[in-house]
Amino acid sequence: MTSVVSKSGWDRVADVIIYGILALFGLLTLFPVYYVFVVSVTPYSEVLRHGGFVIYPTQVTFEAFKAVFSSHTVPQALKITIQVTLIGTLLNLTVTTLLAYPLSKRFIPGRNVVLLGVVFTMLFSGGLIPLYLVVRGTGLINTIWSLIVPGLVSSFNMLIMKTYFENMPHEIEEAAKVDGCGDVSTLFRIVLPLSTPMLATLGLFYGVGHWNAYFAGIMYLNDKSLYPIQVVLRNMIQTPNVSQELSISNPLLLQTLPPETIKMATVVVAIIPVLIIYPFLQRYFIKGMLIGAIKG
């Protein structure tokens, strides 16, 4: 028989305190997102009436979102960001997998040398100017590939995936080879279907990284039509005149809306896709991190 140990009074008090602190931190984390959304849908007259701080709007308007999506800049930037995120994440996972799987095999010649090179890049980098010269020398300047190729493999993510592959039972691969599968067939038909949690976890890492990246766009892009959404948002926040960054077919929308409301609406547009996708990958995220980070 299994005995159930009841919690003492002090344990219950400790649980209440811990959950209370976690709930407080959760509210502090979510409140900025809530405030940005509220300001983006609140008429500016009500924002001014409340001194610029609105918790619960009595009126709701979507004119700011109408202005954002009627512009040419934001939809084009979203298109570029979606392309970079999808293509970049697919290539990231492909190259990371093809590097991590051989390095998970101890019998591969030169494995330790390659691993040393990978770890070395985590500690030391060539510098910003050499990186720019390499990107320019390969002809990637002013193309969306400059946002993808320089960060094609993350050393940290590769080591996590390598550890995940090392923790898989070797009997599975041996059984596949007995059935006639080669190394490539074993990887794509056996190993990868069993690695869904890890692929989803690293895909989330890579995808969010591509979606939020803006520094590479500032460095490598001169054509504004290739700017991702984060670069457009950064330029909008830095300039007091939003009309310089947005090409809106109906200029009257900008005259009736303050710049801050337009900026808040653009922030909401930039964060909503990640907020929608993350809950579907959360269960894979937790499971993949635990399995990939613990050796055993």
Domain identity same for 285 and 147: yes
123 & 181 share domain: yes
Give me the pLDDT at residue 295, please.
45
Q: Is residue 81 very low, low, confident or very high in pLDDT (cuts 50, 70, 90)?
A: very high
Residue 296 clears pLDDT 50, i.e. is over it:
no
261 and 126 within one domain: yes
Q: What's the domain count of the chain?
A: 2
Which band of pLDDT confidence, cut at 50, 70 and 90, is reported for residue 88?
A: very high
Q: What are phi and psi of 17, to 5 degrees?
A: -65, -45
The residue count of the chain comes to 296
What digits encode the pLDDT tens for the residues 24-66? 998 888 888 888 888 888 777 777 776 667 777 777 778 888 8
Q: Which residues form the domain of 48? A: 8-61
Helices (H), the chain: 9-41, 44-49, 63-70, 73-103, 111-123, 128-137, 155-167, 170-178, 183-186, 196-212, 215-220, 229-238, 252-256, 259-293
What is the 8-class DSSP label of residue 59? S
Q: What's residue 32's pLDDT?
A: 85
Is residue 2 domain-resident?
A: no
Q: How far is CA 52 from the centre of its chain?
A: 31
Flag whether 3 is in a domain. Answer: no
Within-domain flag for 162: yes
Do 188 and 235 sit in the same domain of this protein? Answer: yes
Residue 42 lies in a domain: yes
Please check whether residue 1 lies inside any domain of the structure.
no
Mean pLDDT is lowest, of 75-89, 178-192, 197-211, 273-287, for 273-287
Residues 54 and 80 grouped into a single domain? no
User: Does residue 112 form part of some domain?
Assistant: yes
Is the same domain home to 100 and 232?
A: yes
Does one domain contain both 14 and 98?
Answer: no
Which residue do the tokens 């997998």 mark?
A: 97
Please report whether residue 32 resides in a domain: yes
**pLDDT per position as a tens digit, 230-272:** 998 888 888 766 766 676 655 555 666 777 788 888 888 888 8
Has residue 231 been placed in a domain?
yes
Residue 3 in this model has a pLDDT that exceeds 70: no
Supply the pLDDT for residue 292: 47
